[in-house]
Structure 1
Amino acid sequence: MAASPPILRGGFRPFFLGGAIWAVIALVIWLAVLAGQITLTSAFDAVAWHRHEMLFGFVGAIVAGFLLTAIPNWTGRLPIAGAPLAGLFGLWMAGRFAMLFSAELGPVAAAILDVGFYLLLVLVAAREVIEANNRNVPIVGLVLLFGVANALDHLAAAGFAIDPALPWKVAVALVTLMISLIGGRIVPSFTRNWLAKRGVIQGLPGQPGRFDLAVIGLTALALLAWIAAPAGWLPGVLLGIAATAQAMRLARWKGWKAVADPLVLILHVAYAWLPVGLALLAAVELGTPVPQSAAIHALTAGAMATMILAVMTRATLGHTGRELRAGPATTVIYFLVTLGALLRVATSLGALDYRMGVDVAGLCWIGSFLLFIGCYGPILFAPRIGERD
């Protein structure tokens, strides 16, 4: 039986590449819609489509790639590869096509394909972690809730009695918690490893402990209040406390000691957007003139996009047997996504002209993901070093 092509030998390969390509396509479409150059053929309105595809399309692909790649490490079981992986990825792609043309294909068909992808992903992941009696069942649970939020977004768009803000708020909260949970493992671990290899033995980042669990729990509570409670002092105070706790957590990881290595530094930069985003959300809830768009883009264009590129570049190098080193192009990727996030948040805060700020921030975003596609796409299609084609 012939071996699978390299692109189907690990979940990170098709989903990282496909997610990056969709990040570019979806944003180009959105910028063209804003400029009045095209009209969407989606059953969702333009803003709702943009929000949905950034969260459930782009971010969802990376979540799938990470999960399918991490599970073999967690469980010791063989990875999902070959035809099953191709089928799962094909279902994700079909969902993107159906969402874009749902006004013609029908919203029900789009929902079945789009939500069906998450249902299948969760079933595959749950089978692996449960059979291995693995401790990461809660992460699969978060992905399941993410799929539920996706389904709710379809119901809201179809006119059901659902607050249209509920699905995307739940999605943003869940991905924020994923970053807090998984980032809280990998950021201090990779920082510690990098420092230890350079002979640093004093003042290394500590392993996750009770303080970290308390911060994650507090963040979950604050986000729940943001979703469910009326706007006001309660969610505002909780979000402010969570932002402070997350900043303290980040400081404990001593990222300034690893400033010489972009692969490590970018993890700290990405995580730093969490307390920033939570603090801006707190300001919104407490009635300050900070627009909600600034807070949401700090968490999405900032924390999510930056952490995604940080993880995609590192995982692609590591899982294909290449040296964990950020070359000049990778450093530019990190610079562009960071600059794009800063400009997008600054635009929401009124520091830049809206159209100019959105367009320039969008170009930075597009540039960072195009550079990832150009530099890492060939690696994702190639076999692991030392592995036969």
Structure 2
Amino acid sequence: MTRPSYGKQPFRSFFAVAALDAIFGAAIWTPALSWAQPWLTGPSAGDWHRQVLLYGTFPAMLAGFLLTALPRWTGQAGPRKAVSKLLLALWVAARGSYVLGPHGSGPAIAAVFLFALTLTTAGYVISSRDRRNYKIVLLLFGFSASAAMTAASYQVGLTSRLSLAAMTGLLMVVGGRVIPALTAAYLCNSGAQPVSAPVAVVEKASAAAATLALIFWIAMPDGQVTAVACAVGALLQLARATQWRGWQIRLPAAVAALHVGYCWIGLGFALLALHILVPSHVSTAAPVHAWTVGAFGTMSLAIMGSMIRKHSGLAFARSIRATAAYAAMTCAAVVRVGGELLPSNTSMWLGWSGGLWLVAFLLFIAAFHQPLLVCGCQPDR
């Protein structure tokens, strides 16, 4: 059998740097790499944490996914090599400048990268008149604006909420496309009876409720109306997830991880409502990490793994390392959020969660190092 070549696929380089960035961003905190701390010229621990996830790992994963999926969604040719190379160069420049360059240049270049990705995406969507994807362009523009605000050091709290809201919105849109499609594809491939199509009313209501909840949270993070909106958003997001009936099917690990990761979005809304109503019992970090570690961490690994396997012709092949990576990330989310709900020994919970995050991405690299780092090879089974 002829082995597929990944050299022309945009996801290959972006997924590789996303995984490596996630590993480096977590590993730099460990005692074993304490010698590297003086190299970080300026950023505080909080700034470093936000930059790695929000403006490093997530945008790289998102770029790889969109540049590969948009041609199929819009029926157009894939991006030119020059476009992919320019975007990758901007991403690398942003990460390098943030670590080694003057404080502020990294976030500024990250904003340029995100605006360039937004314009590229808008070009596909507008030229194809694909109204269904206008929401992705709008969310990308909001994400880019938050990166520019971060570079300008404008209202850190507001900027962080805008970034997290845009990220969560993008995860909801992408998850709503990928999860039902992969579930249906697996059922068709295995000869099982397909699940019923999602109810349109639930889809629209969940999107509207989540949009309102995120807007209220950005503008009024401690308002009672925000708590109500988040509670409604949580119920409808979980109702949306139940339509896909992932618990009724023995799914491969990558697809099951997507279902689990999406449920963290609904749990994040629920925890945010509880934080507003009983802030002494639920800290603001609980919902934030439900979205970042739980939803993004789990879904990013599963989406990257599924896309790699799809382009290798091994879409639903089993991989012990990949399965262990998804399990480790889920445990990292449980430990991180649980550590916020059980505040004793916070440093211990944080250490365990960070370690599990590292293990998850290391296992992911081990499972998919051939297609990501060695052109023209299949992923490990």
Same fold (TM over 0.5): yes
Name 2:62's counterpart in structure 1: 63
List alignment gaps of at least 5 residues for structure 1.
157-161
Percent identity for Structure 1 against Structure 2? 31
> Which residue identity lines up with residue 120 of structure 2 in the other structure?
V
Distance of aligned partners of 1:345 and 1:84 in 2 relative to their CA distance in 1, 3 Å threshold: same
Name 1:47's counterpart in structure 2: 46
Name 2:282's counterpart in structure 1: 290
CA offsets per residue over residues 158-194 of structure 1, 9 Å max, x none?
xxxx321111111111121112222122212322332
Name 1:383's counterpart in structure 2: 376
> Which residue identity lines up with residue 62 of structure 2 in the other structure?
V
Q: Any idea what SS the aligned residue of 2:37 has?
A: coil
Q: Any idea what SS the aligned residue of 1:364 has?
A: helix
CA contact (8 A) 1:283 1:290 kept: yes
Name 2:302's counterpart in structure 1: 310
Supply the distance in 2 between the matched residues of 1:176 and 1:33 (Cα, whole angstroms).
33
TM-score when normalising by structure 1? 0.89
List alignment gaps of at least 5 residues for structure 2.
none
Q: Could you tell me which of 156, 181, 189 is aligned with 2:181?
A: 189
> Which residue identity lines up with residue 269 of structure 2 in the other structure?
L
> Which residue identity lines up with residue 290 of structure 1 in the other structure?
V
CA contact (8 A) 1:280 1:294 kept: yes
Supply the distance in 1 between the matched residues of 2:35 and 2:340 (Cα, whole angstroms).
20
Name 1:357's counterpart in structure 2: 349
Kindly report which structure 2 residues correspond to 1:85-96, keeping only aligned pairs within 5 A, or say none: 85-96=84-95
Name 1:159's counterpart in structure 2: none
Report how many aligned residue pairs link the two structures.
372
CA offsets per residue over residues 6-39 of structure 1, 9 Å max, x none?
5651221111110000000011123459989834
> Which residue identity lines up with residue 73 of structure 2 in the other structure?
W
Does residue 258 of structure 2 align to residue 267 of structure 1? yes
Supply the distance in 1 between the matched residues of 2:377 and 2:75 (Cα, whole angstroms).
19
> Which residue identity lines up with residue 110 of structure 1 in the other structure?
G
Q: Any idea what SS the aligned residue of 2:244 has?
A: coil
TM-score when normalising by structure 2? 0.91
CA contact (8 A) 2:41 2:99 kept: yes
- The more displaced of 119-128 and 60-69 is 119-128
Name 2:18's counterpart in structure 1: 19
Name 2:72's counterpart in structure 1: 73
Shift of 1:260: 4.2
Name 1:167's counterpart in structure 2: 159
CA offsets per residue over residues 79-104 of structure 1, 9 Å max, x none?
125343222112101100111124xx
Distance of aligned partners of 1:338 and 1:352 in 2 relative to their CA distance in 1, 3 Å threshold: farther
Shift of 1:285: 1.0
Supply the distance in 2 between the matched residues of 1:30 and 1:384 (Cα, whole angstroms).
33
> Which residue identity lines up with residue 353 of structure 2 in the other structure?
A
Distance of aligned partners of 1:260 and 1:128 in 2 relative to their CA distance in 1, 3 Å threshold: closer
CA contact (8 A) 1:183 1:271 kept: yes
Name 2:151's counterpart in structure 1: 154
CA contact (8 A) 1:7 1:14 kept: no
Supply the distance in 2 between the matched residues of 1:34 and 1:378 (Cα, whole angstroms).
27
Name 1:367's counterpart in structure 2: 359
Distance of aligned partners of 1:232 and 1:141 in 2 relative to their CA distance in 1, 3 Å threshold: closer
Q: Any idea what SS the aligned residue of 2:282 has?
A: coil
> Which residue identity lines up with residue 375 of structure 1 in the other structure?
A
Distance of aligned partners of 1:33 and 1:237 in 2 relative to their CA distance in 1, 3 Å threshold: farther
CA offsets per residue over residues 246-279 of structure 1, 9 Å max, x none?
1111112111122342122111100110111111
Supply the distance in 1 between the matched residues of 2:268 and 2:92 (Cα, whole angstroms).
30
CA contact (8 A) 2:230 2:269 kept: yes
Supply the distance in 2 between the matched residues of 1:243 and 1:34 (Cα, whole angstroms).
39
> Which residue identity lines up with residue 302 of structure 1 in the other structure?
G
Name 1:257's counterpart in structure 2: 248
Does residue 114 of structure 2 align to residue 115 of structure 1? no
CA contact (8 A) 1:189 1:207 kept: no
Shift of 1:133: 1.9
CA contact (8 A) 2:233 2:269 kept: yes
CA contact (8 A) 2:202 2:236 kept: no
Does residue 276 of structure 2 align to residue 277 of structure 1? no
Distance of aligned partners of 1:338 and 1:77 in 2 relative to their CA distance in 1, 3 Å threshold: same
Supply the distance in 1 between the matched residues of 2:11 and 2:244 (Cα, whole angstroms).
27
- The more displaced of 370-379 and 327-336 is 370-379
Shift of 1:112: 3.7
CA contact (8 A) 1:72 1:79 kept: yes
Shift of 1:352: 5.6
CA offsets per residue over residues 261-301 of structure 1, 9 Å max, x none?
21221111001101111110000111342011111111100
> Which residue identity lines up with residue 271 of structure 1 in the other structure?
Y
Name 1:134's counterpart in structure 2: 130
Supply the distance in 2 between the matched residues of 1:270 and 1:77 (Cα, whole angstroms).
30
Supply the distance in 2 between the matched residues of 1:307 and 1:347 (Cα, whole angstroms).
21
> Which residue identity lines up with residue 20 of structure 2 in the other structure?
I
Shift of 1:351: 5.6
Supply the distance in 2 between the matched residues of 1:56 and 1:140 (Cα, whole angstroms).
17
Name 2:213's counterpart in structure 1: 222
Supply the distance in 2 between the matched residues of 1:377 and 1:36 (Cα, whole angstroms).
27
Q: Any idea what SS the aligned residue of 2:172 has?
A: helix
CA offsets per residue over residues 347-382 of structure 1, 9 Å max, x none?
122266222211111111111111111221211333
Q: Any idea what SS the aligned residue of 1:259 has?
A: coil
